[in-house]
Structure 1
Amino acid sequence: MLISRTAFLRIMLGLSIGLPSGVWPGAAPLHAASDPPPVAIQFTLDRPLDAAAAPFVLAGIGGLFGAEGLSVGTNVATSSADAIARVADGSSDFALVDINALIRFRDKPGAAPVKAVFVLFNQAPYAIVARKSRGIKALSDIEGKTLGVAEGDLSIRVWPAVARQNGIKLSSVKQNSISAAVREPMLSAGQVDAVTGFSYLSPINLKDRGVPADDLAVLRFADYGCEAYGFAVIVSPRLAASKPDVVKGFVRALIGGTNLAVKDPARAATEVASRMDGGSRELELERLRAIIRDNILTGEVKRNGIGDIDPARFERSIDQLAEDFKFQKRPHLTDVFDESFLPPPDGRLIN
């Protein structure tokens, strides 16, 4: 039986799963001598590998990047700000970052014209995670309590807007600045009543530390009026201008990888955990299911497809960000997002 060269490539690359920890799509695709060599690109994660990167992992091991003629190398930054800086200076071609960090970056004088081209998290994962045994079951219970805020935490940037929308006096909540390394240990030990963080990280980490699940209250800001989008793929301005087809191919492969992760989260979690240092399949599966449910497969995405931004919602999110951040110039959607690299809506459906 004869098969096309493209189909052969997909099959062979799908078998190439024995990659080093933390590196998944780096293997170059097979190609005939007459074919052009794959385009080598660098992709940056803004934090160590976990279930949030499952779509990229599956796009790599499933041969989707290779089928687009891409050979993708990966690296890990220390934060969204660090990842954005790498794309801005050209040392990385793509990065997964918090789009709200990008919005603040673009407000700086002389900032490189870095833009997002694909939104992976339709809803930001910002949350307050609390102990019910400390008297917190709903957001209104946070008044009079102590809130631990880790250095560099992104959730706290929209907390003023969420608090105002829900009639909570900011002055009634004591904030303790803490290290990210002790966020879960301090809440577990009862040294703070609640912490800010991501809804798919702290709760699962706390349960892994022995905190009973029924003692945790996960107060997702999206459930309390937060309009913010979350993680998005940004691209080097130089690459976007010189090789737009490469950007489009990367986005197509990522949409395919997202579909694979949604259809088979168990396999996705296994692949992610195998590339982590001491990764747990069970923890990453729980994390991935929370991400798909709360951040990726939202009602907006089910209706309109993944990857795009609704202009009216974006304007509302800027209003909320402005309660904590004084913009030099109010950003417009086109300042931070370029939809031209997205497939049409029927090519962005996740099911």
Structure 2
Amino acid sequence: MIKRTAIALLAMFALAGHGNAQSTKVPFALDWKFEGPSAAYFAAIDNGHFNAEGLDVEISPGKGSLDAIPKVATGAFPVGFADINSLIKFLDQNPGAPVKAVMMIYDKPPFAVVGRKSQGVSAPKDLEGKTLGAPPPDGAWAQFPAFATANEIDPGKVTVEPVGFPTREPMLAEGKVDAITGFSFSSFLNLVRLGVPEEDISVILMADHGLSLYGNAVIVNTDFAAANPELVKGFLRAVANGWRDAIADPKGSVEMIAKRNPALDVDLETRRLQLAINANVVTDYTESNGIGDIDADRFAKALTQLSQTYAFKNAPDATLYFTDEYLPDASDRTVK
């Protein structure tokens, strides 16, 4: 059903630019609302990178790390931004669905457990005997079983409280839970904004505690990509340029979001973006290889790690989840 829907909607995007020789309309589904880490995509619009590729990109906010996957798989959006680990599980449960990752953005995923030291949470094992607030659709929560295994946490000793995204940080700030799952940069700064002292916040990054997993990537509807390979390559080249702009001028890039949302706290979101750049985007690997690609050996380890806590219905196959065939040359994907 997913594939048929995608094929039926394919022509809508492939032909969207006809009648306008200057640009092709490309809707882009984000994982989350417009915050600092999304600045690179607005920089790609406002600094003319998408336009240089003949693209008229409209960005739509999302509701979580999994949100864009079905949107792209059904063809409602040709491209999106989503957690690759959730994509792997989606494809295992929906074999043949026309969706695949084509550009890794968070080389080091921001999945984290964020706690309060005053409530006894500073390290992974501290979660035993504590209450963990976790939104069911949260990408970080999806990785918690693997994190627990890697750190010998007994899940039976952790009380899990399902919470909504809007109530997650407030519940921790109010002491109603002892820790939460979330993206490191977002949960940390949300707590700061709520008045929690920075020295009381413990950010336990899963990537620093045993996980080899990757994070969020640009994903495409594969039917759309097969019909429009040069368009997809141009889209990714513009995204790389947008990230380079955001890295060079974080505040200026965040101000581009503020043009769409005057109520945005520019200083706060600039800090959020800088945290994402420092911890998730600019890594030893991306400095050497450019943004977007993955290391095959590490990805194989990640799949093995996922299989320890997720029962695959089908044998994991890295080629089903990620392809580098649309990536621009490494020289066009530098992060410096």
Which of residues 162, 165, 185 is equivalent to 1:177?
A: 162
In the aligned structure 2, how far is the partner of 1:80 from the partner of 1:135? Answer: 28
The within-5 A match list for 1:95-174 is 95-174=80-159
**2:201 aligned residue:** 216
In the aligned structure 2, how far is the partner of 1:194 from the partner of 1:315? Answer: 30
1:309 Cα deviation after fit: 1.2
Runs (5+) with no aligned partner, structure 2:
1-15
Query: Which segment drifts farther, 255-264 or 310-319?
Result: 310-319
Which of residues 270, 278, 281 is equivalent to 1:296?
A: 281
Query: Which segment drifts farther, 326-335 or 287-296?
Result: 326-335
In the aligned structure 1, how far is the partner of 2:253 from the partner of 2:58? Answer: 19
1:148 Cα deviation after fit: 1.3
Whether 2:315 is the aligned partner of 1:335: answer no
1:111 Cα deviation after fit: 4.1
Q: Deviations over 1:79-132 (max 9, x none)?
A: 444422222222211111111121111112444221111111111111011111
In the aligned structure 1, how far is the partner of 2:134 from the partner of 2:100? Answer: 28
In the aligned structure 2, how far is the partner of 1:80 from the partner of 1:300? Answer: 23
1:194 Cα deviation after fit: 0.8
In the aligned structure 2, how far is the partner of 1:189 from the partner of 1:82? Answer: 28
Whether 2:326 is the aligned partner of 1:349: answer no
Which one has a bigger Cα radius of gyration? 1
**1:39 aligned residue:** 24
Q: Give me the CA root mean square deviation.
A: 2.0
Which of residues 43, 50, 58 is equivalent to 1:65?
A: 50
Q: 1:283 to 1:114 in 2, by over 3 A?
A: same
Query: Which segment drifts farther, 331-340 or 37-46?
Result: 37-46
Q: Aligned residue pairs: how many?
A: 320
In the aligned structure 2, how far is the partner of 1:151 from the partner of 1:197? Answer: 11
Q: Under a length normalisation based on structure 2, what TM-score does the superposition of the two structures give? A: 0.90
Which of residues 240, 246, 259 is equivalent to 2:225?
A: 240
1:277 Cα deviation after fit: 6.1
CA contact (8 A) 2:108 2:215 kept: yes
Runs (5+) with no aligned partner, structure 1:
1-27
Q: 1:104 to 1:130 in 2, by over 3 A?
A: same
CA contact (8 A) 1:148 1:196 kept: yes
Whether 2:237 is the aligned partner of 1:252: answer yes
1:271 Cα deviation after fit: 1.7
In the aligned structure 1, how far is the partner of 2:186 from the partner of 2:59? Answer: 22
In the aligned structure 2, how far is the partner of 1:91 from the partner of 1:310? Answer: 30
CA contact (8 A) 2:254 2:266 kept: yes
CA contact (8 A) 1:88 1:236 kept: yes
Query: Which segment drifts farther, 74-83 or 233-242?
Result: 74-83
Which of residues 287, 290, 305 is equivalent to 1:305?
A: 290
CA contact (8 A) 1:60 1:66 kept: yes
Which of residues 134, 159, 171 is equivalent to 1:186?
A: 171
CA contact (8 A) 2:131 2:178 kept: yes
Q: Deviations over 1:39-63 (max 9, x none)?
A: 2211111221111211111010000
Identity value in percent:
39
Q: 1:78 to 1:142 in 2, by over 3 A?
A: closer
1:302 Cα deviation after fit: 1.2
Whether 2:33 is the aligned partner of 1:48: answer yes
**4+ aligned runs moved over 4 Å, structure 1:** none
**1:9 aligned residue:** none
SS of the counterpart of 2:278? helix
The within-5 A match list for 1:253-332 is 253-276=238-261, 278-332=263-317
Which of residues 44, 65, 68 is equivalent to 1:83?
A: 68
